[in-house]
């Protein structure tokens, strides 16, 4: 089946997005719908993955939505590019580690296109940027697998506010910071989503 590409112009609520993914997941599993790559932004929201802890919440006044993806706590908001997908690994290679490497490669190649040098880390999932002597996260990855169909996805900080990350311990990592592309290099990122989709499609085929 072909992969449907969906791009939402207006922010999508987190709960609505996950509800859509869950319904689409069943259809893909039943061979009643195509796989999906969905680019969107969320309204401001804090989400906690399967391994997040209350100690990761620094500001106890915030509300955290519990989700079934992997990982710990993170923040989504306007100015952050979110890429969700529903991809059937039964028709590819049943290897989640290899799939994560495909995602990492896609993000790295996309940011390299904009002359930003980033890297993956085997010990700390995500994509990282070295800012002088400090390492900061620029993209987060959180996945779930059901019957060898992988869904949820990743986010790239483009020009989102970084203030809300101070209310949590992002992804449970205490010794590294968070940044966005505008802070790294102030340039036009309008074409980012199209470059990202093109590279993801290519890497999924290889």
Mean pLDDT of 98-106: 97
Report whether pLDDT(1) > 80: no
- CB-based contacts of 28: which residues, under 8 Å, 6+ apart? 34, 35, 36, 86, 88, 149
178 phi/psi in degrees, rounded to 5: -130, 140
Percent of the chain whose pLDDT exceeds 70: 100
Annotated active-site residue in 171, 178, 184, 197: 171
pLDDT of 88 > 90? The answer is yes
Catalytic, 171? Answer yes
What does the domain layout of the chain look like in residue ranges?
Answer: 3-205
Other Cβ atoms closer than 10 A to 116 = 16
Average pLDDT over residues 91-102: 94
The DSSP letter of residue 112 is H
pLDDT number for residue 171: 86
Place domain 3-205 in its CATH homologous superfamily.
Bira Bifunctional Protein; Domain 2 (3.30.930.10)
Q: Is the pTM of this model over 0.85?
A: yes
Task: Say how far apart CA 113 and CA 97 lie, in whole Å.
Answer: 24
> Does residue 206 have a pLDDT over 90?
no
User: Above pLDDT 90, what percent of the chain?
Assistant: 88
């Amino acid at each position: 089946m072909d992969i449907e590409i969906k791009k939402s112009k207006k922010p999508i609520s987190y709960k609505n997005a996950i509800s859509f993914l869950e319904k689409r997941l069943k259809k893909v599993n039943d061979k009643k719908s195509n796989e999906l790559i969905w680019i969107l932004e969320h309204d401001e929201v804090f989400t906690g993955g399967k391994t997040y802890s209350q100690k990761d919440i620094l500001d106890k006044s915030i509300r955290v939505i519990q989700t079934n993806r992997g990982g710990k706590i993170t923040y989504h908001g306007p100015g952050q590019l979110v890429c969700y997908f529903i991809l059937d690994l039964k028709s590819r290679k049943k290897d989640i580690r290899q799939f994560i490497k495909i995602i990492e490669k896609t993000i790295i190649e996309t940011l390299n296109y904009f002359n930003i040098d980033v890297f993956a880390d085997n010990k700390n999932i995500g994509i990282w940027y070295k800012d002088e002597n400090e390492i900061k996260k620029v993209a987060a990855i959180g996945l779930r697998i059901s019957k060898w169909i992988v869904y949820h996805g990743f986010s790239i900080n483009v020009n989102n506010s970084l203030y809300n990350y101070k209310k949590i311990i992002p992804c449970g990592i205490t010794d590294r910071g968070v940044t966005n592309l505008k802070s790294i290099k102030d340039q036009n990122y309008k074409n980012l989503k199209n470059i990202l989709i093109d590279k993801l499609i290519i890497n999924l085929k290889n």
